[in-house]
Structure formats: structure tokens, C-alpha cells
Amino acid sequence: MDFFKFFSKQPPSKDVAKERLKLILIHDRANVSPTFLEMLKSDIIRVISDYAEIDERGLEIKLTKAGEEGINTPALIANIPIKKMKETAK
Amino acid sequence: MSISIVVTSGKGGVGKTTTTANLGTALAMLGKKVVVVDADTGLRNLDLHLGLENRIVYNLVDVIEGTCKLKQALIKDKRLDNLFLLPTAQTKDKTAVKPEQMQELVENLKKDFDFVIIDCPAGIEHGFENAVAGADKAIVVTTPEVSAVRDADRIIGKLEAKGLEDHQLIINRIKFEMTKKGEMLNIDDMTDILAIKLLGIVPDDEKIVISTNRGEPAVTDPTSKAGQAYKNIARRLLGEEVPFMELDNQESGFFSMIKKLFRR
């Protein structure tokens, strides 16, 4: 069994557990549901799309907890890849 | 100087009652005057862990309702003269007690004892509110499982919201063999996720089952690993610097037994 495990690319289950926990705790702590983030995401896309063409698939949005990434308060971090700016925005 | 400590976890079955019974007993063995309080009204179990279930006459609810005096409800431990149990009612529910009443009760106990250790019920409802009401410090117990860690995080949030800033973590039932293989969350993973100070690590130990069967806390068994871990935690609560258990301490089996024999 261990011989096959050696070649499989599955990460150790504790890393999976840690990642899952980190993600779920962000929602738990902020007291928001994943639906809330989805709604926020679609609204952000709608607003920004007026000014720029964005890569919707590459859009990442997350809530961090206080103290994470050097910020003292929980922060909403959005990573929005822009394909190109729209004419109207120039 | 006396202190009241609530032992809590959110999730059930992670070892709150075992922790309460063992820390209470260990602190008493170190010469402190200790009372352990069962705050799990309706589902009491601390009496069983200490083997005192047949001695209960009055309980916490009787004290609060004024049916008896506080001293009458306290049960002296079988083994230690300076350890007492305040059991709760089995036939009442958690609404029989209010947080203010619990706070007053704990204040009264602190006059007579060095340590008041409160066994909190699972959940975040009324029973939790009662259990933490009179506490100066909280011990959060968790196990290396996603559900227990998630609930512990929720509890830590609740404690902070209540202004109970002095809280520390006990990681219970860790299997060092599994953490070595990366198949179980390790100590660093958990302290990293929960961002809380670590008070102790308790290895998974089959002897705990035997201790509970007999109603004799593991700390009274000198050969129990978990018992040793609880004794270390008790000493840390008294301000001593005690190193955490090492992974290699967990060696078991025939060869390590022989190795240990030669080491002596």
C-alpha cells in the first residue's frame, strides 16, 4: 500500500483538513455565508464591468480575519484580473 | 489567591469532563484545595468520572433554590481530603439556573477553595452561559478533528465577546503516530488555526477508558500517559514551566519497552 502511496499525488490528509478549516473559519468568524460572498462577487463584477473588461473566472474574493496579512481588522480582499479598460473609462 | 476556571469546548465528547476530573484531582494531589463543579445540569457525569455517584444527596440546583446550604451539597473525594465535587441535578434542565446565580455561587466557592473548576456542557446555549458566568479563566479543549477545531474556534469567539480574555487550549487525544505520517492535524496546525495559547497536549490513551470505567481519574495511575499529561498541565496552572510532551515519548510496543528497561 505504501508503495503506491509514494507515487500518488494526494497531499497528506492533515493538510486537506487544515485548508478546509481555514476556509470555513473565515466564514464562521465573519458570520457571513458563502452565499453572501457570491452575492458580493456578482455585484462587484457588475459595477466594475462598466469600466473594464474583467476575467470573471480569475476573480478571487475572500475575507481575512483580524491580524492576518498584517492588517488589524478583518478585511475584504478582492483580486480582480482586468483584461482591458473600456473606452468609456478613459 | 483563588481562581475559577471553566473547561469548555463547544463540541461534545472531546474530553471536557475527563479534563475537569483529572485537573481537579491533579491540583489536589499537588496540595491545593479544589472543588470541581458540574455545570451540565440534566446530563451530569463528573460524579461518574470521580466515582462519587453513590454519594450524592444534594446538588447545585438545590443550593441555588435554597433547599440546602452550599456545604451540604459538597461531596468529599474518596482519595483526597482537599478535593470536593459539587454535582448538579440530573432531573432538572439548564434553565433551572441563571448566569447571575451561577456567578454568585462561584464567588462563594472561591472563598473556601484555591481552585474552582467548572465542567461546561457542550453547546453554546444556556448551559454554556451559566458555566462561564463566574469564570476568571477558560480552558478550551479540542481534539485533532476538523469539527472539534471548528467548534473550539466558535467558543473562543464567544469567550472573547464576553470579555473572558484569559483562555488557553488543551489538545486532547492526539495520536503521535498519525501526526508523524501527516494523517492527523498536529499541534502547530491547531495553534496556528486557532491563534490561542497552548496549555497542554494530552496523548490518546486507552487507559482513559479504564480510568473512567473504575471512576478513578487517570492522574491517580502513575503508568498512564494521559495522566502524566494532565499532571503537567496542573503544574503549569500553578505557574511552573513544564515542557510539552515530546513525540518520541509516545513509543510503544515490545522493542521500545526493552529499550526503556535498559535506559533505567
- pLDDT, tens digit, for every residue of B179-218? 999 999 999 999 999 999 999 999 999 999 999 999 999 9
pLDDT tens by residue, B80-122? 999 999 999 999 999 999 999 999 999 999 999 999 999 999 9
pLDDT tens by residue, B16-28? 999 999 999 999 9
Q: Do A25 and B185 touch (CB under 8 A)?
A: no
Kindly list the residues from chain B whose CB atom is less than 8 angstroms away from the CB atom of residue A24. Answer: 150
Question: Could you tell me the residue ranges of all domains in chain A?
Answer: 12-89
For residues B31 and A9, the model is more confident at B31
Q: Alpha-carbon distance B197 to B134, whole Å? A: 21
Find which of A8, A15, A16, A18 to mutate to test the B interface (most B CBs within 10 Å of its CB).
A18
Q: What is the pLDDT of residue B127?
A: 96
CB neighbour class for B117 (10 Å; exposed up to 12, middle 13-18, buried from 19): buried
Q: Alpha-carbon distance B195 to B182, whole Å? A: 21
CB neighbour burial string for A35-59, b if at least 16 within 10 angstroms, e if fewer: eebeeebeebeeebeeeeebeeeeb
pLDDT value at B263 more than 70:
no
Q: Do A17 and B150 touch (CB under 8 A)?
A: no
pLDDT value at A26 more than 90:
no
Residue of B nearest to A5 (CA): B181
The mean pLDDT of A55-69, rounded to a whole number, is 73
pLDDT value at B40 more than 90:
yes
Q: Do B183 and A29 touch (CB under 8 A)?
A: no
Tell me: is residue B253 an annotated ligand-binding position: no
Tell me: is residue B209 an annotated ligand-binding position: no
Delineate the domains of chain B, giving CATH numbers in brackets: 3-263 (3.40.50.300)
pLDDT value at A5 more than 60:
no
Tell me: is residue B18 an annotated ligand-binding position: yes
Question: Which pTM does this prediction carry?
Answer: 0.81
Q: What is the pLDDT of residue B128?
A: 97
